């Protein structure tokens, strides 16, 4: 997306945009990295399927954000484009992690449904081993469309294309009608499955609370969490409607092309990566408790500095 605006940016505009992107990427990854650090430092987290799925979502967002920022910077740094093979590998990672997010949200919603509606079976169903199997399944399902894009390129273009330089973004590399049809079908199936999962689990939890077969407070918290999953899904969908919003905004403000493209890039690829720690980490009492301990210890370490003792 940002590649289209490169030629229209002067040096100062390009510097400001890249600096903003890198700064936001570093800040967001630092915040997410703090949650990852706390997760692996506390055994109560990595033995709980709920937190395993959550931290997988955070790590997935960190990977996606890192590669999105790299592609943004590379677009400006390499005027003749990136090697086609390297570009395809990077696009495989970005597209896979992008598809992982909604699938992971569906898994988290199902886990909450089982915890609230089938509490006696939760320990048997939601084991650590099965959680990691689910994560492997998510990656397997998400990577198939990304690999199929490369297969379509191999089938429709000469092999020598992998040695040339290209502007590294999806529409430039995967612009054939076959890619468009495949991408549209995958997006529809993926998002429909996740939306249906969130819809069903939310109302299952709602009816369970009304029937008084579960703890009302626990059910209310689970419903709120699933609703927040829905909010995150909407942000995931923003990336799919970006071409439409770009077309509408560019027709209304043709002189603001680079600003529109850059703003859409931030709102669809960068800023949503901050949602996971804000929505889940800070709302969760355990994570919030360990977060306070972590930062209080950091502050304590900064305040206490060793002093040199001079011996006469």
223 pLDDT higher than 70: yes
| % helix, strand, coil for the chain, step of 5 | 85, 0, 15
pLDDT at residue 299 is higher than 70: no
Distances (CA, A) of 237 to 7, 161, 192, 207, 233: 28, 31, 11, 28, 6
For 267, the token pair is 């709102």
Most confident by average pLDDT, 46-55, 162-171, 185-194: 46-55
Per the CB < 8 A criterion, the answer to whether 245 and 121 are in contact is no
Beta strands 165-166 and 82-83 are: antiparallel
Element (H, E) at 166: strand 165-166
**For position 213, what pLDDT does the model report?**
54
pLDDT, mean of residues 186-213: 80
Predicted confidence band of residue 260 (pLDDT cuts 50, 70, 90): confident
| Spatial contact of 297 and 34, defined as CB atoms under 8 Å apart | no
Tens-place pLDDT, residues 99-149? 998 899 889 889 988 988 888 888 899 999 999 999 999 999 999 999 999
* pLDDT mean over 25-48: 89
| Closest among 269, 284, 228 to 39, alpha carbons compared | 284
Residue 302 confidence (pLDDT) above 70: no
The domains of the chain, with CATH numbers, are 2-299 (1.20.1070.10)
- 227 or 52: which leads in pLDDT: 52
Q: Is a pLDDT exceeding 90 seen at residue 209?
A: no
- The better pLDDT of the pair 171, 100 is held by 100
Give 149's contacts (C-beta < 8 A, 6+ positions apart): 88, 91, 92, 95, 174, 179, 182, 183
Query: In whole numbers, what is the pLDDT of the chain averaged over residues?
Result: 82
Q: Over range 60-72, report the average pLDDT.
A: 93
Residue 4, pLDDT above cutoff 70: no
- The predicted structure's pLDDT at residue 133: 96
């Amino acid at each position: 997306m940002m590649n289209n605006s490169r030629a229209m940016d002067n040096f100062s505009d390009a510097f400001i945009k890249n600096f903003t992107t890198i700064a936001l990427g570093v800040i967001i990854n630092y915040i997410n990295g703090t949650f990852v650090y706390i997760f692996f430092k506390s055994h109560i987290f990595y033995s709980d399927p709920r937190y395993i799925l959550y931290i997988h979502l955070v790590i997935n967002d960190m990977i996606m954000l890192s590669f999105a920022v790299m592609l943004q910077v590379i677009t400006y740094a390499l005027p003749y484009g990136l090697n086609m093979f390297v570009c395809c590998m990077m696009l495989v990672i970005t597209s896979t992690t992008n598809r992982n997010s909604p699938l992971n949200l569906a898994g988290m919603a199902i886990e909450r449904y089982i915890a609230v509606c089938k509490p006696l079976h939760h320990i048997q169903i939601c084991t650590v081993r099965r959680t990691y199997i689910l994560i492997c399944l998510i990656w397997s399902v998400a990577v198939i469309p990304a690999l199929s894009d490369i297969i379509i390129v191999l089938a429709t273009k000469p092999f020598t294309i992998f040695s040339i330089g290209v502007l590294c973004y999806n529409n430039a590399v995967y612009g054939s009608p076959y890619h468009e049809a495949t991408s549209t079908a995958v997006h529809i199936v993926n998002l429909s499955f996740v939306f249906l999962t969130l819809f069903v689990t939310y109302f299952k939890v709602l009816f369970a609370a009304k029937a008084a077969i579960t703890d009302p407070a626990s059910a209310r918290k689970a419903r709120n969490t699933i609703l927040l999953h829905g909010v995150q899904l909407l942000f995931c969908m923003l990336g799919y409607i970006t071409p439409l919003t770009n077309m509408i905004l560019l027709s209304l403000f043709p002189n603001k092309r680079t600003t529109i493209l850059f703003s859409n890039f931030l709102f669809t690829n960068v800023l949503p990566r901050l949602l996971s720690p804000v929505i889940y980490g800070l709302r969760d009492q355990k994570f919030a408790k360990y977060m306070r301990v972590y930062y209080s210890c950091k502050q304590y370490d900064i305040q206490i500095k060793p002093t040199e003792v001079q011996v006469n």
